[in-house]
A and B are shown apart, each in its own frame.
Chain A
């Protein structure tokens, strides 16, 4: 069952010109993104800095207003058919910076109880819920409820943030690089916790990360983003096992080999990801792509089906696209 539908989501940020009239331009942070999330699944979102994955997360919760696009939660359009407060109760978020996302003047118990109180739960019940959530995320309430964020380690603070995200009993939790700042041994603990909570509370996750190993481990389906657009999307095993987009392939082969006898010999890409200010028309990856042809610069490249639920935005996978490596029409 589809829980969340996102269609044509777009957000451009205009840049100011400086005193001499230089600069300007527009950052195409998120540029027409369409996907949906099924009840109970984990949707992984990967991409490098500037690909728009965090902007996308903020747009989902309407922390920033989209320029265009429609978000439907449980079939109702957020903002019109479903009021924002209701949508935000059903969609919660955990951020990367565990310290910046907690109020330093509130004890962790108060932080967790804050949302439910705002949403009308009596104080005593909200505190009760905060304490039981603390226990659930592995922080003994008697020891931790009265502590302030600076009295906790990074891993403990992230557990508090997870507890807070669950305090409104959401359907969907958006995890934006939620484990990226943690040490490996702590990251593993938090990932295990997230998997347990998902089962226990019947949650749906949107899991955003730059770490492909973690995304592969957590996700049922995966979206690969590049400069504000989706390059490839599909079930995790087919995106990782039968990778079709040249960018996704490059991203995967940039991962350290983990085998001392088979070290990486050639970097898959040269140069930095381009910045998303006024990107050229056509495929956004063409400047770094080994297979780029003139045709790649003409017009928008649409996400096209490349097998069961696997979608790719590359002319090489589209029959009759005009790219010399495209499959024949019969295929």
Chain B
């Protein structure tokens, strides 16, 4: 791919911070996340539960509960200041500029309306067309996501479809209004292996065809490798490493990424012990000072606890937040 450096990025997130308050506790879910995304680029966000990957996505769509969460920093998407949007502007943004697909499609559809009605509703809202054109667009989208006998499926209710079909229908709903950015939150995690790969290939194909940017959140390294151009690894609400898929997977520089890759079980390793990361992720209500991974890290030293390590560029846009890299530089 040619460098897009002079272009304005489609997405620019800087110093995004999300806090949840709950009975006297403050959960530090996202702690200063910054990244840019070029038009047509696919970013895989890799992290375990509690790493803040889903919360980051939800903040970008502005669907976090307003009364319990505080979001600071800036999110710019297609030239708009997302955190300042309200009313009709916010409605245009959601579904028009950006849309999202989830792990559990049953929850994204209203059970009492047919698939066709729900896609058409969104199309009418965003594309300002009549009922007939909206229905035609819905049919076109169901065809496009390779739902067999799409015409009949248009009048099906969500519960009448299998898991894989529902996931396809959700993708059709999300893409019906040609968003510039698709947020995907573990969309294949609940699917069987043979269905998962079909959905991943479909998403890859649609991404190319629509030329949209995608942020694909997953806990599965293999899935990220299948879909992403670039990977951001999150730990305890921070991006600890980012770079092209090849760089991050072949030469991981952050000890957490290294541990995550070595603890991902591969069948060939039978008979050898897995190099597991000891301990467990920090309590987000009581974050350790400095590098949040330090308590589990075999390279940890005093300096790690003093301040959160800054990002060090190790070449070609590959960055990691680790004091070891600064020492080496």
Say yes or no for A191: interface residue by CB 8 A criterion. Answer: yes
Q: Give min CB distance, A119 to chain B, whole Å.
A: 33
Q: Which residues of chain A are within 8 angstroms of B245 by Cβ–Cβ distance?
A: 260
Q: Which residues of chain A are within 8 angstroms of B48 by Cβ–Cβ distance?
A: 183-186
Say yes or no for A273: interface residue by CB 8 A criterion. Answer: yes
**Structural contact, A184 and B264, CB atoms closer than 8 A:** yes
Interface string of A250-273 (1 = CB under 8 A from B): 110011111111011111111111
Say yes or no for B164: interface residue by CB 8 A criterion. Answer: yes
Assembly CA distance A185 to B274 (angstroms)? 10
Interface string of B200-220 (1 = CB under 8 A from A): 110000000000000000011
Assembly CA distance A304 to B48 (angstroms)? 43
Q: Which residues of chain A are within 8 angstroms of B225 by Cβ–Cβ distance?
A: 256-260, 263
Q: Which residues of chain B are within 8 angstroms of A256 by Cβ–Cβ distance?
A: 197, 200, 220, 222-223, 225-226
Q: Which residues of chain B are within 8 angstroms of A186 by Cβ–Cβ distance?
A: 48, 280
Q: Give min CB distance, B178 to chain A, whole Å.
A: 25
Q: Give min CB distance, B240 to chain A, whole Å.
A: 13
Assembly CA distance A184 to B196 (angstroms)? 18
Q: Give min CB distance, A243 to chain B, whole Å.
A: 13
- A254-B194, A263-B226, A264-B201 are contacts. A217–B267 as well, Cβ < 8 Å? yes
Q: When the two chains form the complex, which single residue of A189, A251, A263 contacts B193, counting CB atoms closer than 8 Å? A: A251
Minimal Cβ-Cβ distance residue in B for A256: B222
Say yes or no for A277: interface residue by CB 8 A criterion. Answer: no
- A214-B265, A267-B197, A272-B165 are contacts. A153–B226 as well, Cβ < 8 Å? no
Assembly CA distance A159 to B162 (angstroms)? 34
- A240-B267, A254-B194, A272-B195 are contacts. A185–B226 as well, Cβ < 8 Å? no
Minimal Cβ-Cβ distance residue in B for A195: B273
Q: Which residues of chain B are within 8 angstroms of A214 by Cβ–Cβ distance?
A: 265
**Structural contact, A48 and B197, CB atoms closer than 8 A:** no
Minimal Cβ-Cβ distance residue in A for B280: A153
- A195-B273, A264-B226 are contacts. A183–B194 as well, Cβ < 8 Å? no
Assembly CA distance A215 to B223 (angstroms)? 18
Q: When the two chains form the complex, which single residue of B164, B201, B226, B281 contacts A271, counting CB atoms closer than 8 Å? A: B164
Query: Quick one: which of A143-184 are within 8 Å of B by CB?
Result: 153-156, 183-184
Assembly CA distance A191 to B265 (angstroms)? 9
Assembly CA distance A254 to B191 (angstroms)? 12
Q: Give min CB distance, A48 to chain B, whole Å.
A: 4
Q: Which residues of chain A are within 8 angstroms of B264 by Cβ–Cβ distance?
A: 184, 188, 213
Minimal Cβ-Cβ distance residue in B for A260: B245
Q: Give min CB distance, A115 to chain B, whole Å.
A: 27
Assembly CA distance A189 to B275 (angstroms)? 8
Minimal Cβ-Cβ distance residue in B for A266: B201
Task: Beyond A154-B49, A256-B200, A267-B194, list 10 extra A-B contacts (CB 8 Å).
Answer: A185-B276, A187-B263, A251-B193, A259-B225, A264-B197, A264-B201, A269-B194, A269-B198, A271-B148, A275-B162
- Could you list 23 examples of A-B contacts with CB < 8 Å? A49-B192, A183-B48, A186-B48, A188-B263, A189-B278, A191-B274, A210-B192, A210-B193, A212-B193, A240-B267, A251-B194, A256-B223, A258-B221, A259-B225, A260-B245, A260-B246, A261-B246, A263-B225, A265-B201, A268-B194, A271-B148, A271-B164, A272-B164
